[in-house]
Structure 1
Amino acid sequence: MTFHAAAPSSCFIVPTSAAEALLPSPNLPFTEVVNFPTPSMSQSNGGPWMPVNFFSPAVPVELLKPSQLSDLCMKPLPTVSEIESIIQFSQQAWEHHHAQSFLYHHLEENTPLPLSIVSVWSGWLNVCTKAQSPWYSALEWQSPLAMDPVLKYQAQEIQLLLQTTPWCALTELPYGTPFHILAKLLSTEWTSSSLTDVLLHRLHHHILTDVHLCEQFVMSEQVEFAVKILQVSQISKPQLTETYQTSPSLQGIRALGEQIFIQEKTFLVVLYLEELCGMPHVGDFKLTL
């Protein structure tokens, strides 16, 4: 089998036999995927390695023997960020650098492997970061609760749920929140900023979709509200009353004022903690109660 692909999509497709040997089935439950054999990922940069060095114009060797595939699972990988850079560069390597094969450059190995190994790395990255790492810790944390006289029934329900739910069944919650964030509920990180934001999003949505609550509350996101206040503060005092009443740009703040002071609604300012961190679900911090 050679990999002179006619289209970029075909050369990166993992053959079925290799996919079955190297990657967990989408139907595998959480309790089993956490123990699926995957390569270790480095915790520190061992380079500097350039993504281009992982690609070669050489014709790749065939990976047909089970022992060859097993060996791949034993080879350590670079860091998560380095893997992401390599995956992102792969299309460019194929199109502009005439790459036909992939190298384990970080291990100083020169055997040209099929470009589909890039997709295998992508699969391993997904499994490790979104299933194995978060849910292994969660399962380990909740395991002793099975003996707790108060929480044992809840622990059994959680265990049953994770034993019967395919790890790929739920990849994203509403509002774009990654599903693996919920693993923090089964840990000491249940007050983390990302989980708090999930609750804030849910509360925000609940109020907006409930007619009775909309009659009681008026909401504004923190940034939006700050912009409106700044607009008013920049008006000179002699013109304040007239401008406030007539300016089209201040229609939003006038409507907000009417809802608060005339309709007597309670004003809620929504501030998501991810905005304080700078990046959503990155640099997560724990709130101490």
Structure 2
Amino acid sequence: MTAQDPFVAHRGLLFTVAYEILGSAVDAEDVLQESWLRWADCDRAEVRDPRSYLVRTVTRQSLNRLRTLARRREEYVGEWLPEPLLTSPDVAEDVELAESVSMAVLTVLETLGPVERAVFVLREVFDLPYGEIAEAVGRPAATVRQIARRARAHVAARRPRVTVSRSEQQAVVERFLLALRTGRLQELLDVMAPDVVMITDGGGVVAAGLTPFHGAELVAGLLARASGITSDFAPVWLNGAPAIRIGLDGEPCTVSATVADGRITGLYVVRNPHKLTRLDEPAQLSR
């Protein structure tokens, strides 16, 4: 029996690394294609640890891609949100993995520089040794330690401070889905925290807010109006958490949520159709 090629064996891991660094499944797939070509051309006899070699290769290609994307994202119309990924409920069983691919954390990672983001992902999510990370990002190990410390503090200061159980998250999102289906303002208000924030991403392609919406009354009013023009609401698992898929004017829209104290505290609404092309088959994520 022929042994499985290491690239194929580790593909889920490699995709996860690229996606967390880039926040885009489309770009992550492009990075994997580029990395596969480099893997196919390398001298396998010189590769002592295929997994480490492949992670380094994918990281370098992801950094190259991230730098080329920087200007495009600076010119992006309105708020930029990560590309939502359809995932199986099983992803939520790995709590650290699920949190690392959550819309909330990926949005925070967007505020890091390219090298800081790669270092954070490789260290905090995949627990790679500093020496391996140093090789991947082309910096001395001592510098990588400093970068990791700064990135960790930066993310800790900005990520949601309250973590809830999978069952509580699911229960609150189900209440939210029911409120959306009824379109009743009070039910929407009851399921949201007073200081809820809603971020919408239309990419200049479809209508969306250019800045975040703040406050339960404003957000509930907007959602109630949206409920009045569609009845196409469905539960779905996105980025390792329960979420909602909506059909608006024949186009998909996804809503991911953060939860604390039994209420919705944050909503991430993706309407940009270019980011909603991978909602039919669950992504294979692994650490």
For normalisation by structure 1, the TM-score amounts to 0.23
Larger radius of gyration: 1
Q: Which has the higher contact order (CA 8 A, sep 6+)?
A: 2
Higher strand fraction (1 or 2): 2
For normalisation by structure 2, the TM-score amounts to 0.23
